Chains A and B, each alone.
Chain A
Amino acid sequence: MSEATATQDVHVDRVLVSLRDVHRDYPLGAERVHALQGVTLDVERGDYVAIVGPSGCGKSTLLNLIGVIDQPTSGTVEIGGKRVDQMSDWEATSFRLRNIGFVFQRFYLMPILSALENVALPMAEAGFPKEEQRMRAAELLEYVGLSSRERHRPSQLSGGEQQRVAIARALANRPALLLADEPTGELDAHTGAEIISLFQRLNSDGATILVVTHDEELAGAARRKIHMRDGRIVDGAVHP
């Protein structure tokens, strides 16, 4: 094996997310909204990327494509070397379950389940044994600082605590990628700061994180900031 190919292999392996000339149009009556207009982007393993830009510039659209929730009108999206832009609903669902953790602005915890059960839910779907589900869910809750809240229902938790449960749930199946769309959007500055430091800790423990946010603090904590405008990346500089 030549040295050149070896380096290239390492490079390919390091890139986790790879988008090439991605367009996403939404039909709007007779018109079409060009939400993404040729986005090309690589995200390396272990990176912590914040996507920022004015409202309506296509941040959520981009995150949804990377999260295999949505499909591009044209262009390719690869995650871990696997094309994900043409997957059937069934393939996409199962891919998301095992490879992607989502954190939403509104935590979307199941109201009738306890914190522990909420965290165990994706593991149950993936078919892990009950005991393993319980143990790992407890570990994850401990990681996000909620060991004492295992039996609590979402309604018995504060907003910040609910978001931390949601983050623990996103990590349940050891996803390659953690995606968050305005994770601090519903929280006050103080609880928002807790989430920000949690993301930093996660990233230093090896998680690859992509956040979309208007929150300067959260964006500032990322290693790399990507600026978007009108469906294009205008600046993808590495964060100092």
Chain B
Amino acid sequence: MQQPSPRTIAIDESLAAQAKLKVGDRVTLLARPAAEDYAVMTATPSGYTPSATPPETVIVAAIVRRGADPSQVARGDLLVRMHLDQLQEISGYGDRVDRFAIATKPGLRIGQLLDHINDVAFGFRAYRSHDIAVETSRTFQVVSRFHRAIGVITIVASSVFLLCIMVLKVEERRRDIAALRLMGISRSSIVKSIIVEAALVAVLGSILGVALGWAASLFVNWHYQGLYRTPLEFSIVTPEIVAVAVSLSLFLGAAAGVLASLRLVRTPPLVLLGR
């Protein structure tokens, strides 16, 4: 009997790494008797486990990288793309399908199509992929809101901290400020110079902070993309985030400078000198 040339399957990176498979390897598809509802593949350097229907040997034709789907990241699934009959055979599900996707041509009225399908469908429902995406990312929205709350608390706490440091720093200079006032330097010049200095420090600080955040985000992405074998970006530093960070720190720094210096320039210089 002539052997037909083996069919091909595609596996994902995680599976390739775990089972040490590469493109061109021959593998055998079979379902383990004890586990009916999932597919297992074993590499066969020395043959395969006998079963009722002889298992099919296939060739790994491709190793695919998974799409960036946050809902799949932490599940640790291993993915195999095989022919439908192979899947039916191996899963024992027969004709049963849990879900499938339909690609539509651009320009199609999807709303109408959905209504039509749902009218005639029996035992299933059709959804837009967009709606499913929104539905499945509820968790992420909650997490994101939570992160925002942490962010706000951090900013409030660090502003208080910043103000305290500013007051202390300016306080250290009470004698200098008194001497400047005695020399005839006006209050507004002193406040201005303190604001400029505070703003400069704030901008430098925020640039440093952004650089640090950027480096941290590179590390986080590198680490978790490796861990979960996904191109998903876990952490992003957008221009908006940088703009908010710099302008917020500029504002907070300058405000802290004003508050701290006003306190001192309102005190008569002789009192500042301890007279």
Contact = CB atoms under 8 A, between A and B. Distances in A.
A98 B269 CA distance: 18
Contacts of B9: none
Given A64-B270, A108-B175, A108-B176, A69 B184 contact: no
Interface in A129-153: none
Nearest to A170: B183
Contacts of B189: 125
Contacts of B270: 64, 69-70
Contact of A121 (B182, B183, B187, B275): B183
Contact of A122 (B176, B181, B185, B275): B185
Given A108-B175, A110-B176, A125-B189, A96 B269 contact: no
Interface in B174-228: 175-176, 178-187, 189
B162 to A, nearest CB: 21
Contact of B185 (A64, A100, A111, A125): A125
B184 A122 contact: yes
Contacts of B178: 108
A96 B183 contact: yes
Among B178, B181, B184, B186, find the residue whose CB has the most chain A CB atoms closer than 10 A. Answer: B184
Contacts of B185: 93, 97, 121-122, 125
| Range class of the A interface residue count | 20 to 34
Given A108-B175, A108-B176, A110-B176, A122 B269 contact: no
A19 to B, nearest CB: 18
Given A69-B269, A69-B270, A97 B184 contact: yes
A95 B183 CA distance: 10
B182 A97 contact: no
Interface string A165-192: 0000110010000000000000000000
A219 B181 CA distance: 27
Nearest to A95: B184
Contacts of A170: 183
DSSP class of B's interface residues: helix, strand, loop or mixed? helix
A97 B183 contact: yes
B186 A125 contact: yes
Contacts of B182: 67, 69, 96, 102, 104
Given A64-B270, A70-B270, A93 B187 contact: yes
A60 B273 CA distance: 13
B176 A94 contact: no
B179 A96 contact: no
Q: Which interface residue of B175, B185, B270 has the most chain A CB atoms within 10 A?
A: B185
Contact of A104 (B179, B181, B184): B179
B169 to A, nearest CB: 13
A104 B273 CA distance: 11
Interface string A66-85: 01011000000000000000
Contacts of A110: 176, 180
B181 A93 contact: yes
Contacts of A69: 182, 269-270
A100 B175 contact: no
Contacts of A111: 176
B270 to A, nearest CB: 6
B184 A98 contact: yes
Interface in A31-75: 60, 64, 67, 69-70
A133 to B, nearest CB: 14
Interface in B227-275: 269-270, 275
Contacts of A96: 182-184
B181 A108 contact: no
Contacts of A89: 187
B179 A108 contact: yes
Contacts of B183: 96-97, 102, 121-122, 125, 169-170
Contacts of B179: 104, 108
20 contacts: A60-B275, A64-B270, A69-B182, A69-B270, A90-B186, A93-B181, A93-B186, A93-B187, A94-B184, A95-B184, A96-B182, A98-B184, A100-B184, A102-B182, A102-B183, A104-B179, A110-B180, A125-B183, A169-B183, A173-B184
Interface of B: 175-176, 178-187, 189, 269-270, 275
5 nearest CB pairs, A to B: A97-B184, A108-B179, A96-B184, A125-B185, A93-B186
Interface of A: 60, 64, 67, 69-70, 89-90, 93-98, 100, 102, 104, 106, 108, 110-111, 121-122, 125, 169-170, 173
